[in-house]
Amino acid sequence: MKNWKNLLVQPGTPIREAMLKIDAAGAQIAVVVDDDGKLLGTLSDGDIRRGFLKGLSLPDTVDKCMNRAPHAVSATDSRDASVALMRRLKLHQMPIVDDSQRVVGLEVLDDYLLPACRENWVVLMAGGLGTRLGELTKSTPKPMLKVGDKPLLETIVRNFLNQGFKNFYFAVNYMAEVIEDHFGDGEKFGAQIRYLRENKRLGTAGALSLIPEPPTEPLIVANGDLLADIDYSHMLDMHVDTEAVATMGVSEYEFQIPYGVVHEQGGDISHIEEKPAHKSLISAGIYVLSPAALELVPPDQFFDMPTLFEQMIDRKMRSRVYQVHGYWLDIGRLPDYQKANSDISRVFQ
């Protein structure tokens, strides 16, 4: 839900104020949090009615009638898992919490059942060589490798379609005819598909210069070799709400040093850290770009996405991150491809 923060209340909030928030948002619940944003409870119309039957009135506070054992969705759950849980519990709205039980959103079942139609264009980068996959890509472009029972690129497209996006550009190069023969103009998929044909390698952003009509609204750019469970509408809304020129999807990557790390001060050992784990944010290969960002892409030249972001940073053009909490897999190596085939039924089917 886009404006979920408007539904946050604290235990001492008057019932009347909570009711006004629920009504203004057209929601079914308010979410009760503490000063740190951690989930304490939820408040529904039913909770309020039961409170009134017990003698409460509008000036009383929500802690006297809130549900103190609320159900919540984890920020790391896949969309399908969240929908399944809400259906099983017969709940249409549930707070989303992170590992620390801080509320980070509100899941709304109807958003998945009836996605709003989004006119924004989606650019899928599908021209890579896929050389790290060896023999698999000798006769098939990487985005067309079967993951489950259909090509990876088709799964990506259907995921966007399920979220209300229908307008696509495919940036193609290597074995472009295989992709074009499968998708055509997109009609059989209920989509509109156009092609940006690279006559040479243009990098991860250069193909954007081939878009024939400069967009007037932000567009989504995604690599065509990703298996990801992302709420693209939410990412787009966050981009607009924060007035960003560019938003980069990022994923948390953890790696462990396989040795004891020695910390020193002036030659003296201060402490030893045994096989520490470190976390970093890495680019997830998914972006939202406003028209102003596209103006920086040089025509028909090799140009990578990191260079585009560096130029925007140098120009103090607002660039944001959007953290991907759900499933994300970059299919670049054979073990990744094998994992994708193992995971596909759990994540998308």
Convert the pLDDT of each residue in 118-159 to its tens digit.
999 999 999 887 788 888 888 899 999 999 989 999 999 999
Phi, psi of 7 (to 5 degrees): -100, 5
Packing angle of the helix pair 152-162, 176-183 (nearest 10 deg): 40
The partner residues of 102 in beta bridges, in order of sequence, read 38
**Secondary structure (DSSP) of 196-263:** EE-SS--TTTGGGGG-SS--SS-EEEEETTEEE---HHHHHHHHHHTT-SEEEEEEEEEEE-SSEEEE
How far apart CA 41 and CA 33 sit, in angstroms, is: 7
For the segment 297-318, the average pLDDT, to the nearest whole number, is 96
User: Does the model's pTM come out above 0.85?
Assistant: no
Q: Is the dihedral of CA 198, 204, 206, 209 positive or negative?
A: positive
- The pLDDT tens digits for 39-96 are 999 999 999 999 999 999 999 999 999 999 999 999 888 777 788 888 889 899 999 9
In the predicted model, is pLDDT for residue 349 greater than 70? no
pLDDT band at 290 (very low <50, low <70, confident <90, very high): very high
Contact status, residue 30 vs residue 8, Cβ threshold 8 Å = yes
Note whether 181 and 141 are within 8 A (CB). no
pLDDT of residue 3: 80
For residue 96, the Cα-to-chain-centroid distance in whole angstroms is: 14
Contact 60, 116 (CB under 8 A): no
Residue 232 is predicted with a pLDDT of 94
6-35 per-position pLDDT tens digit: 999 999 999 999 999 999 888 999 999 999
Phi and psi for 297 in degrees, rounded to 5?
Answer: -80, 120
Q: Give the pLDDT of residue 114.
A: 63
Percent of the chain exceeding pLDDT 70 equals: 98
What is the 3 state secondary structure string of 48-91? HHHHHHCCCCCCCEHHHCCECCCCCEECCCCHHHHHHHHHHHCC
Which pLDDT value is given to residue 82?
A: 83
Contact between 115 and 233 (Cβ < 8 Å)? yes
> Domains, the chain, ranges and CATH?
4-113 (3.10.580.10), 118-348 (3.90.550.10)
| Alpha-carbon gap, residue 241 to 269, rounded angstroms | 48
